[in-house]
Amino acid sequence: MTPTDEGGRVLRARRWAARHHSAVWWITLVNLTFGLVFTILVPPFRGPDERYQVDMVLRSDLGYVDPSERVVPTDEIRGVGSLAGPSVDPDLRYRPPMPFADAVPRPDRPTFGELAQEVVVRTDEVPRATNQLSQHPPLHYAAVGASARVVTLLTPAEAWSWDREVWLYRMHSVALVAALPLLASSAALVLGVGRTAAASAAAVMLLSPMHTFIGSVVNNDTTMMLGSAIAVVGALAHLRDGTARSAVVAAAGGAIAALSKSTGVTLIPWVGVVVAVVALRAWRQGRRREAVRNVVLAGSVSVIGAAWHITNLVRFGDPQPSGVVRRVFPDVEKPLWRFAENWFDRVSGTFWGRPATRTGVMLDPWITNGLTVVMALVVLAALWKGRRRAGVLLLTLLCVAQVALMLRTNLAQYLRSGELAALQGRYLYSLLVPLAALAAVAVWGWVGERWHAWVLAALAGVGVVFHVVLSWSMLVGYWGGDSVGARLDSLLAWSPLPHLGSLLLLSTPLLAVAGWGASLAVPRWRRR
């Protein structure tokens, strides 16, 4: 690369950064700091299915696991309850707040390898559990497992215990979702809204502290969220410029999402529709070679993304084969009103802010249910007055298709068994950036430009408050003690980090918000 080429790239990067409102960078930082706090504020294995998620990262070196293998070794995780203390036993459905007295001193905490040896010695067999590897696409677990092994190889062995390894996996999650507010602003800018209105898309991300929670525990949703955001920004850019690069970026994002979680598969046909629309436009304009090239390139990448599901469909007749046996209760009464009421409440809660109902770690239901209603109205508002209608229509199509697919799957399971299973708002997290971008379009179309800054400030302020409220409920619901100080002592006793490191991490959101406030106040003070 010549100095001229390098200088040109630097200049383009600066221009791209300058397109975003300064608030976007502060919102991204604030969101990141809350994610860092949640990595120690949430006890081990309190994330959704985190016990299985950690186990699959540890088992990622097994490679392809045949779905006909109903059980696989799970020795490391099974040892946690015996050696690490009963409060973190991953087999318990309900776990009360973590008491200070149960915390194992940091130097005495075993590694996962030691936990595995303890289980084999104690039971005289290798424990086995339901095969979860066969029903989950492999990319997330392979990537996290490989990078974690590299980190542990480059650091002293005595630095690692089971809880620090879980924390390392959580830090991978934080890194994967860190740029989501920035990508939301990018999507809004591509749709043609102004810088301040586009910044409101980043602020909308703060309204969902649940996505910050998911992005701070071990979960394959994180890679899917990043891939879907890249796919959306790339597809909207392709609508505008029609280049091969944007088509490949969109397809690559969809492939990452699909290879990380099956709820991301929807992105592959959606990107295909976008590329087909642009190709048809180019074909009619006589640019037929360009149209064919873009379709071939995007299609090739998309086939790679769908390869895991296609292989399973050919081999087993199911794109997502599962070792889990679903119960069937044909004689159980299954009123549709019960399903509708629970579906709306649970999906809304777990989309916006409900990590743990039993321990009260949640925003009030009227907030989460209200946010869902407001967001539906916002999408309609964006459709009514949205600029670049093709992009708005295609984003709405993606939202409707993803919600309809999840609703169909949940309803079929309910009618078959009577169970209200898998009612998880995180299964719609491929829609985080699309919904945020549509909200920015609604602000741009319905709110006068002089009010855009006020809307941005209101959204960001409410989002920060939601994060603070959820953080408080985590401290109360997850950590034992009769006072704030006692609960904080419990948290510090259990933390994988030294006390000073934990306290510094807990203070990062305050420092980020203070820095943002100073960046706004100092220039005004100087002008006086």
**Does a structural domain hold residue 354?**
yes
Look at residues 151, 167, 183 and tell me which one is the last residue of a structural domain. Answer: 167
Look at residues 103, 135, 167 and tell me which one is the last residue of a structural domain. Answer: 167
Going 142 to 144 to 148 to 150, the CA torsion angle's sign is positive
**Does a structural domain hold residue 521?**
no
Tell me: do 189 and 293 sit in the same domain: yes
Q: What is the pTM of this model?
A: 0.91
Tell me: do 360 and 490 sit in the same domain: yes
Tell me: do 104 and 193 sit in the same domain: no
Tell me: do 489 and 511 sit in the same domain: yes
Distances (CA, A) of 317 to 259, 312, 324: 18, 7, 16
- Dist CA 378 CA 356 (whole Å): 28
Tell me: do 116 and 143 sit in the same domain: yes
Tell me: do 355 and 485 sit in the same domain: yes
Tell me: do 142 and 270 sit in the same domain: no
* Contact (CB, 8 A) for 308 and 136: no
* Contact (CB, 8 A) for 163 and 150: no
* Contact (CB, 8 A) for 482 and 364: no
- One digit per residue, the tens of pLDDT, for the chain of length 528 reads 555 555 656 556 566 667 899 999 999 999 999 999 999 999 988 999 888 888 888 877 666 556 555 455 554 454 454 444 445 555 555 678 889 988 989 888 888 877 766 554 444 454 455 566 777 898 999 999 999 989 988 999 888 998 999 999 999 999 999 999 999 999 999 999 999 999 999 999 999 999 999 999 999 999 999 999 999 999 999 999 999 999 999 999 999 999 999 999 999 999 999 999 999 999 999 999 999 999 999 999 999 999 999 988 888 788 887 655 556 566 667 788 889 999 999 999 999 999 998 889 999 999 999 999 999 999 999 998 766 689 999 999 999 999 999 999 999 888 887 778 788 999 999 999 999 999 999 999 999 899 999 999 999 999 999 999 999 999 999 999 999 999 999 999 999 999 999 999 999 999 999 988 888 765 554 444
Domain count, the chain: 2
Tell me: do 386 and 413 sit in the same domain: yes
- Dist CA 277 CA 283 (whole Å): 10
Q: What is the domain extent for residue 152? A: 50-86+94-167
Look at residues 132, 167, 202 and tell me which one is the last residue of a structural domain. Answer: 167
Tell me: do 300 and 391 sit in the same domain: yes
What is the distance of C-alpha 17 from the center of its chain?
24
**Does a structural domain hold residue 153?**
yes
Tell me: do 25 and 78 sit in the same domain: no
On the 0-12 / 13-18 / 19+ scale of CB atoms within 10 A, 392 is buried
Tell me: do 416 and 443 sit in the same domain: yes
* Contact (CB, 8 A) for 235 and 198: no
Tell me: do 503 and 466 sit in the same domain: yes
Closest CA to 321 of 124, 137, 113: 137
Tokens of 25: 């960078």
**Does a structural domain hold residue 501?**
yes
